[in-house]
Amino acid sequence: MKRGINILLVAFCLCFIFSFKAKAAENLEVKATIKGTVEKGNHIEILVDISEIKSLYAASFYFKYDSKVLKIEEIIPGELISDNKISKFEALNNIDEAKGLVSYGFTCMGNINGFSGKGNLIKLKATVLDTKDFKLTSKYGNKTPNEDYTVTMQICDKNIEELPYKFEPFTYTAPKIEKVAEGEKVNKDSNKETSSEQTNTSKDATVEKDGKAIDNNANPANPDDSTKDDKDIAKQPKNNNPKGKSTSIAYILGGIIIISLGGFGYFRFKKKK
């Protein structure tokens, strides 16, 4: 009989969770965090912590998630509501993979203050199925979880009055991976190899000649090089053809000798007469 009365009391309290007015006596802060690395195949823990609270008599928690991204494996009540000295009844503890919905709710039993302090309210053990975006966001007063506010919470004190809260969300944004078509990938790799070959050829184009570096890739028809060669030639002394000079001198000397001999013969001939 006593057990039946307690069950009825629990049901009565849970009904009031969804209908009571908010009490502005306490300004609670609720924070969502992730323990572990969000990568495909990894196991993580989703933690929902609550700041200092004087009286926590009953609470409900709903989390809407993508069952293709996360697999929720277990719901674990946090240390804040795990004092064995306080009698409580878990009205909700369910994971609906088809709907992608986690549901948890409890209420304390009897005329007591409930739990107090700060720490972890609830812990979800999960496996990452796919590295995609997901988030835990909540807004006080929202009754149904949706894509904008994935978490719905209601917290009440020993007077069965709802306490307002400020929620610090957790948002995971998956790194963006550039998708490249197969054909484009082949072209990029080919261009990369060609560029590498050109670089290597350019490096090998420099050789040593007479102790000086010569670039084999230099353009021989470069007008700058031609101008440079012309200037070098202009600086060189003019070639006056020494061989031609010698020949001219020989002709002159020969002419002088012939004229001299002719004159000498002429004077001897005149003298005899």
Confidence class of residue 256 from pLDDT cuts 50, 70 and 90? low
Task: Tally Cβ neighbours within 10 Å of residue 135.
Answer: 16
pTM of the model: 0.59
Distances (CA, A) of 63 to 48, 128, 148, 230, 252: 11, 16, 12, 86, 122
Confidence class of residue 176 from pLDDT cuts 50, 70 and 90? confident
pLDDT for 66 beyond 70: yes
pLDDT for 191 beyond 80: no
How many whole angstroms from its chain centre is CA 64?
A: 28
Judge whether 114 and 55 are in contact, CB under 8 Å.
yes
What is the per-residue pLDDT across 206-217, written as a single tens digit (0 to 9) for each? 444 444 555 545
Which pair of tokens denotes residue 230? 């012309």
Backbone phi and psi for residue 257, each to the nearest 5 degrees, phi listed first: -60, -45
Of 56 and 196, the structure prediction assigns the larger pLDDT to: 56
Q: Which helix (H) or strand (E) holds 227?
A: helix 223-235
The DSSP line for 106-166 is EEE-SSS--EEEEEEEEEEEEEE-S---EEE-B-TT--S--SS--EEEEEE-TTS-B--EE
32-52 average pLDDT score: 97
Residue % of the chain over a pLDDT of 70: 56
What is the per-residue pLDDT across 94-136, written as a single tens digit (0 to 9) for each? 999 999 999 999 999 999 999 999 999 999 999 999 999 999 9
The pLDDT value recorded for residue 156 is 97
pLDDT for 197 beyond 50: no
Confidence class of residue 177 from pLDDT cuts 50, 70 and 90? confident
What is the per-residue pLDDT across 76-96, written as a single tens digit (0 to 9) for each? 999 999 998 999 999 999 999
Confidence class of residue 18 from pLDDT cuts 50, 70 and 90? very low
